Structure 1
Amino acid sequence: MKLKNHRPSTRLIREPRAMPKKRNLGRWIYIGLLMLIGLWAFDVFFGQFFFLRGNGLVVARPYVVASEYIGTVQDISVRQGEAVNEGDVVAFLKSKQYDEELARSHFELSALSADRARLTSELNGQRELIALAKKRLSSATSFRDRLETGLANGVSTGTALNTAYEREYTAREDLERITSDITSLRAELAALYQQIDQRRVLMQKIEAAYDEGRLVAPAGGIVTEVNAIESSVIRPGDPIMTIAAGTPYVLAYFENGSLYDIEPGQQVTMYYGTRNLTGIVTALLPVSEQLPEEFQRSFEPADRAQIAEIRIANPENFPPLFAKLDIGGGLFSSIHRLFDWMLEA
């Protein structure tokens, strides 16, 4: 009886220990995903109450270039984004209103000057008459004294004395009238000189305000917005352009009703793109303001937030004006930014 030769089997036998490791790995991935989802849900619904979170805009003190009169824009010598110095001419205006007002002021000044010349001439004439009136009164008084002496001595009559009295009365009345006229003319001239001085000051103010149509920058800074165009008509107070001057700072908006407190001097972290900026809270404004459009959510009522001013501690990394910043701090702020990035992607 022959035995058959059996070839050795080469089948692979799975090791029983490999399967539990894969199952453990899947379980940990599943648990990790659940934790991320839970963390995301907690951040979405409750994160704003527990963790520092806000938005900010890089701003500077705004100055508005406006006209004090109605005019037509002849030329705008600067453009948005250009740097200007205080006193630089930024626009030229032509005002028909100014021309009419200045012509009217010149006419009124000419009329006042004519009245001054007329009153001065009358005053000089009255001054010449007053000397003659004084001589006339002195002569009438002396004549009346002689008649009174003659009447006492029986030389003159009562009729002649009455005539002397009438002459003296008339002379005294004329002197009083001339004196009163001189006083009145002096008062009128004094008031007229005051009106002329006021008119000249007003004309100087009009000319200084118009300055031949030049509009200058009230402060040195960056032109952030140009509201007018050439040949457009500008009314008094209408902004022609806006200039941001001074050191930029961050105007921050924080959610109302949070459980954390923001205090002056507190250090915060601000995010602009891939850059991290350090800021110091310098002031908390005692108002709750409506959020700008950049921070409003679509199809939701307008939100209001606490306002704070933040100084950027590292000025070498200054973002541009009106750049939007995210404000936060700590690990959860980074996680929140990661979730926002994932949702946007």
Structure 2
Amino acid sequence: MPKRTIIIAAIAIILALAAIFTSGFGLWSGDDAQAEFYGNVDIREVDLAFEQSGRITEMNFDEGQRVEKGAVMAVIDQQSLSDDLRAAQARLTSAQAQLVKSRNGNRPQEIAAAAAQVEQARAQLRQARAAFERRRGLVASGAVSRAQLEQSREAFEVAQAAVNSATQQLSLLRAGSRREDIAANAAAVEQAKADVAQARTRLSEGQLVAPSGGIILSRVQEPGAIVSPGATIYTLTIDKPVYIRAYAPEPQLGLLAPGSKVNIKTDSSDKIYHGTIGYVSPSAEFTPKTVQTEDLRADLVYRFRVIVQDPDDGLRQGQPVTVMVKRSERQIQASDE
């Protein structure tokens, strides 16, 4: 075979291979079937704090540990909070007893005692009246002085007042408590119940409970520290569900629709994750500098969120990712035109 023929054949083979591996020197590409967008795994953090002040007695998790929703992460001294609850419960018991007493009225023994007081006062009144009448008849003969008569008159009037007072007291006992007093006692019971509920709430707030599952990013305090309400104890990163925050230029908004399926890849692995577009922002914004795009960073883009369906430890918060969205046949034809 002539040398020239061999050289031409070799060049042809090289060009064919180059065309295959360079997608026709850039004239055609299988990537036309999908569009790529750039973003990051969404970072969601929450600073956890007590709503009560006190001394920390327990810190149950360290940095890097996973926490399940509802887990008790830390505890402050419960003694004073428990004492407040017992005091509130005692006040409630007292208020309830007072309400029962006012509703039930006075005991028969109390009414009987008041009736006896009335009879005793009436007996004393009869004696005082008899003494006054007797002395009044003796004044004319001089056997009784005017001063003695006035003393008998005063004793008679005091006895009359005592009978009236005892009679009114008996009437009050028989009538029982006033409606206003019963209402006031009922209100006192409700107030005591509210105090007990508030004391229970304060006691429960003495435990720091994980609001959701996640990973401990930082442990700020240690046992023995005295903290005030709102002071950060832990910083928790929320990793379920996993969200991707990505950005798309305006010409490609037609590829994005809530509910659409997408693929996700990272720079650190060949694994392809699957997700669903959950939200597309209605307003444009400047591309964040943490997101690398083929256009200038200052270009206006639209943010959209992807919910990852099969997350694992390969996706870390803040990690850059590429979101791949499949084009429809009509979109491919439109881009070719």
Mapped to 1, the partners of 2:292 and 2:174 lie a distance apart of 81
Deviation at 1:223, TM superposition (A): 0.9
- Deviation sequence 1:170-191 (CA, Å, 0-9, x none): 5553333335674466555544
2:258 aligns with one of 258, 264, 267: 264
Are 1:225 and 2:221 counterparts? no
1:80–1:324 Cα change, 3 Å: farther
Counterpart CA distance in 2 for 1:64 and 1:116 is 42
Cα displacement (A) at 1:102 = 5.5
- Counterpart residue type for residue 67 of structure 2: V
Aligned counterpart, 1:55:
38
- For these two proteins, the number of residue pairs brought into alignment is 264
Q: C-alpha separation between the residues in 2 aligned to 1:91 and 1:290?
A: 41
Structure 1's 93 and 134: CA in aligned 2 closer, same or farther, altered over 3 A? closer
Contact kept, 8 Å, 1:76 with 1:90, in 2: the verdict is yes
Unaligned runs of 5+ in 1: 1-14, 23-35, 38-50, 142-162, 332-345
What TM-score, normalized to structure 2?
A: 0.53
Please point out which of 184, 193, 200 is paired with 2:196.
200
| d(CA) in 1 for partners of 2:68, 2:94 | 46
Structure 2 letter corresponding to 1:70 = S
Contact 1:73 1:93 (8 Å CA) reproduced: yes
TM superposition score normalised by structure 1: 0.52
1:181 to 1:282, Cα distance in 2 relative to 1, 3 A: same
Distance in 2 of aligned mates of 1:185 and 1:196: 16
Does the 8 Å CA contact 2:71/2:209 hold for their aligned counterparts? Answer: yes
1:252 alignment counterpart: 245
Whether the 8 Å contact between 2:261 and 2:276 is mirrored in structure 1 is yes
The answer to whether structure 1 residue 78 and structure 2 residue 37 are counterparts is no
Among the aligned pairs, what percent are the same residue?
18
Q: Given residue 324 of structure 1, which amino acid in structure 2 is its aligned partner?
A: P
Query: What amino acid maps onto 2:248 in structure 1?
Result: E
| Structure 2, unpaired ranges of 5+ | 12-24, 27-33, 123-156, 328-337
Q: Match of 1:324?
A: 320
Is residue 131 from structure 1 mapped to residue 123 from structure 2 by the alignment? Answer: no
Change (3 A) 1:79 1:306: same
Distance 1:137 1:290 in 2: 94
Residue 215 of structure 2 aligns with an amino acid whose one-letter code is V
User: For residues 1-345 of structure 1, what are the structure 2 equivalents within 5 Å?
Assistant: 52-59=35-42, 65-73=48-56, 76-94=59-77, 103=83, 127=107, 128-134=109-115, 172-179=167-174, 182-183=177-178, 189-210=185-206, 214-219=207-212, 221-226=213-218, 228-230=220-222, 234-239=227-232, 240-246=234-240, 248-261=241-254, 262-273=256-267, 274-275=269-270, 277-286=272-281, 288=283, 294-295=290-291, 305-312=302-309, 315=310, 319-322=314-317, 323-328=319-324
Letter in 2 for 1:264: P
1:79 partner letter: D
Could you tell me how far apart the structure 2 residues matched to 1:316 and 1:243 are?
15
Q: How far off is 1:272 after superposition? A: 0.8
SS in 1 for 2:172: helix
Over the aligned positions, Cα root-mean-square deviation in angstroms equals: 5.6
